[in-house]
């Protein structure tokens, strides 16, 4: 195959980006703007969410550190430079024709070369209605729009974990059955999912449920000494029914996913979307499956991250008194820096534009640079010990916790998170209700303070426990190695776009780049402390500009 020049292939190209405001989407957008300055036009699809999406985009470009290097390179000219390359389009992937203004839709149909669909609901076990709408219906509506365009192709961003509960080497192919081996026709399973949704809603609307909730609400109102008026009762019953329905819909999706061999609703709906797209014989597309996306290796700068839903909990608990991570030694946890993922995604887009693409691309490290979970735990403990020795809040942290080790252990270990949480709950109960009545006031105050601290620790550990439960299939129950050779089958001209996860030095990346990034960008979110907001010298402002001709654009890398 002909070597791919990422810059030359993208020169003058018009690309629609859906879901570009997420972690991966923002890094990809910044990388394109900075490293491919001769791009034609990026049409960024954004929902209004009650306000002008242009304002949302300006806020994102101004306040997010992911765009810092772009601001640093461009300075006062950032607004003009970006505005010449970006147009904000109001729309919604979960609606037909992407909820676009008809005139805008018609204009895009004649211009687009590529659509990159990052959009989707990434909650693992959400309300199944929302997961089907975002992850399946959204994917199909995007495909409909791409097929209606004169010359557009589609990169659909999925996940490696559509593999589900399986063991061994996971090839870059489409599943023709469920992970547990049950025959499955995607369109029939989607119809089944809609049936489950309908039956769950009908059960919640039954007369029996209505009567039960009605009686409970009246009893609750009367126990407060209030008058159970018809309006008050109806309002409370309505709220309880909505809350009950969301819980039921979440459980229904999880139950169906587990029944077929997927660990959660997210991977179940993503897998169905892949299969349904594959049935579109007129759709020119490639499926892009990232593994667990982590802190940047070098772009926009080492350690950039956001959120607390990937390896963050594993690293966080290694700096607490909890030191037994539920994992099977030797099992890979397939993590990959976000900028490596963006490079891989640009390679796939270029291959599509050159008609050199393959159907499915997996983007991970377990096949090329194995990172076992026990090594991950070991490096996390080492990094935390170094950090506590220098930055421990007190002598206990600097002298004792900084010398504790962390190990991969059986989920049923006696010091697992569930047991620790139970002890914290019992401690808080005793401090409030089991203590002697006649104690000095200062002792009572200390007791109350310690009980509150135990409750807070319990809530935080519950959040971590929930995430670890989601990881357990991949770090303990199953040994999964994700084949990742399709991206590397393409030769890339520019070194800065080459996908090379085999060059990752895990020790250096994990301790010197990833862990400091988590402490700076992710732990504050979990600890409810103030997060850093970027404040460039020249705030970004969208300027109305004509679509630039390729010859009007600088051809050198920005910065």
DSSP letters for 437-481: S---HHHHHHHHHHHHHHHHHHHHHHHHHHHHHHHHIIIII--EE
Would strands 407-409 and 14-18 be described as parallel, antiparallel, or unpaired? Answer: unpaired
Per-residue pLDDT for 14 more than 70?
yes
Per-residue pLDDT for 517 more than 70?
yes
> At 15, is the pLDDT very low, low, confident or very high (cuts 50, 70, 90)?
very high
Would strands 14-18 and 41-46 be described as parallel, antiparallel, or unpaired? Answer: parallel
3-state secondary structure 17-47: EECCCCHHHHHHHHHHHHHCCCECEEEEEEC
- The torsion of the CA quartet 330, 331, 337, 343, rounded to 10 degrees, works out to 110
Q: In percent, how much of the chain has pLDDT > 90? A: 65
Mean pLDDT of the 528-550 span = 80
Nearest to residue 155, comparing CAs of 358, 295, 398? 358
Q: Which comes out higher in pLDDT, residue 317 or 534?
A: 534
For residue 337, list its beta bridge partners: 294
> At 415, is the pLDDT very low, low, confident or very high (cuts 50, 70, 90)?
very low
Q: Measure CA 283 to chain center.
A: 26
Q: Is 280 helix (H, G, I), strand (E, B) or coil?
A: coil
What pLDDT score does 50 carry?
74
- Judged by phi (left if over 0) then psi (alpha if -120 to 50, else beta), residue 526 lies in alpha
Distance CA 179, CA 268 (A): 10
> At 142, is the pLDDT very low, low, confident or very high (cuts 50, 70, 90)?
very high
Distance CA 110, CA 96 (A): 18
Give burial (CB, 10 Å; 0-12/13-18/19+) of 392. middle
Name the range with the highest mean pLDDT among 6-15, 170-179, 535-544, 548-557: 6-15
For residue 117, list its beta bridge partners: 18, 156
Distance CA 41, CA 5 (A): 18
Each residue's pLDDT tens digit, 172-221: 999 889 999 999 999 999 999 999 999 999 999 999 999 999 899 999 99
> At 552, is the pLDDT very low, low, confident or very high (cuts 50, 70, 90)?
very low
Per-residue pLDDT for 421 more than 60?
no
What pLDDT score does 33 carry?
97
What pLDDT score does 9 carry?
98
Mean pLDDT of the 11-38 span = 96
Each residue's pLDDT tens digit, 350-368: 999 999 999 999 999 999 9
Per-residue pLDDT for 401 more than 90?
no
| Radius of gyration of the chain from its Cα atoms, rounded to whole angstroms | 26
Per-residue pLDDT for 337 more than 70?
yes
Per-residue pLDDT for 430 more than 80?
no
Distance CA 94, CA 279 (A): 19
Distance CA 384, CA 320 (A): 9
Mean pLDDT of the 159-168 span = 94
Each residue's pLDDT tens digit, 432-478: 555 555 545 554 455 555 555 555 655 666 666 666 666 677 777 88
């Amino acid at each position: 195959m002909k070597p791919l020049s990422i810059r030359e292939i993208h020169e003058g190209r018009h690309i629609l980006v859906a879901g570009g405001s997420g972690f991966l989407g923002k890094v990809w957008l910044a990388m394109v703007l900075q490293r491919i300055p001769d791009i034609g036009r990026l049409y960024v699809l954004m929902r209004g969410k009650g306000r002008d999406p242009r304002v949302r985009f300006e806020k994102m470009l101004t306040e997010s550190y992911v765009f810092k290097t772009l601001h640093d390179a461009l300075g006062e000219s950032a607004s003009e430079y970006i505005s010449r390359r970006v147009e904000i389009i109001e729309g919604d992937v979960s609606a037909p024709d992407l909820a676009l203004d008809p005139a805008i839709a018609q204009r895009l149909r004649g211009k687009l070369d590529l659509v990159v669909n990052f959009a989707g609901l990434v909650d693992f076990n959400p309300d199944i209605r929302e997961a089907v709408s975002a992850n399946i219906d959204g994917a199909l509506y995007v495909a409909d729009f791409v097929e209606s365009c004169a010359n557009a192709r589609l990169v659909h961003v999925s996940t490696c974990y559509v593999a589900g509960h399986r063991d061994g080497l996971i090839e870059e192919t489409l599943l023709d059955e469920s992970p547990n081996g049950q025959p499955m026709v995607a369109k029939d399973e989607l119809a089944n999912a809609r049936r489950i949704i309908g039956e769950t809603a009908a059960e919640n609307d039954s007369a029996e449920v209505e009567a039960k909730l009605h009686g409970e609400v009246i009893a609750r109102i009367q126990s407060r000494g209030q008058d159970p008026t018809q309006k008050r009762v109806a309002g409370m019953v309505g709220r309880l029914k909505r809350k009950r329905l969301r819980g039921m819909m979440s459980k229904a999706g999880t139950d169906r996913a587990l029944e077929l061999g997927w660990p959660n609703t997210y991977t179940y709906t993503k897998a169905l979307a892949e299969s349904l797209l594959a049935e579109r014989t007129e759709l020119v597309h490639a499926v892009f499956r990232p593994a667990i996306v982590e802190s940047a290796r070098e772009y926009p700068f080492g350690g950039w991250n956001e959120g607390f839903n990937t390896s963050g909990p594993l690293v966080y608990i290694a700096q607490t008194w909890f030191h037994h991570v539920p994992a099977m030694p030797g099992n890979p946890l397939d993590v990959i820096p976000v900028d490596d993922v963006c490079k891989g995604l640009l390679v796939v887009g270029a291959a599509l534009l050159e008609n050199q693409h393959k159907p499915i691309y997996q983007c991970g490290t377990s096949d090329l640079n194995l990172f076992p979970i026990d090594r991950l735990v070991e490096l996390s403990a080492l990094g935390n010990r170094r950090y506590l020795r220098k930055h421990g809040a007190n002598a206990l942290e600097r002298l004792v916790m900084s010398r504790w080790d962390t190990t991969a252990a059986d989920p049923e270990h006696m010091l697992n998170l569930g047991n620790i949480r139970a002890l914290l709950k019992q401690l808080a109960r005793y401090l409030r209700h089991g203590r002697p009545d006649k104690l000095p006031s200062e002792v009572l105050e200390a007791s109350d303070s310690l009980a509150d601290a135990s409750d807070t620790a319990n809530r935080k550990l519950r959040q971590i426990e929930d995430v670890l439960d989601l990881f357990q299939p991949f770090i303990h129950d199953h040994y999964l190695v994700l084949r990742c050779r399709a991206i590397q089958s393409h030769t890339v001209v520019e070194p800065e776009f080459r996908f090379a996860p085999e060059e990752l030095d895990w020790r250096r990346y994990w301790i010197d780049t990833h862990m400091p990034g988590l402490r700076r960008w992710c732990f504050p979110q979990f600890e409810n402390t103030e997060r850093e907001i970027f404040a460039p010298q020249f705030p970004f402002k969208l300027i109305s500009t004509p679509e630039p001709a390729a010859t009007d654009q600088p051809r050198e890398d920005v910065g």
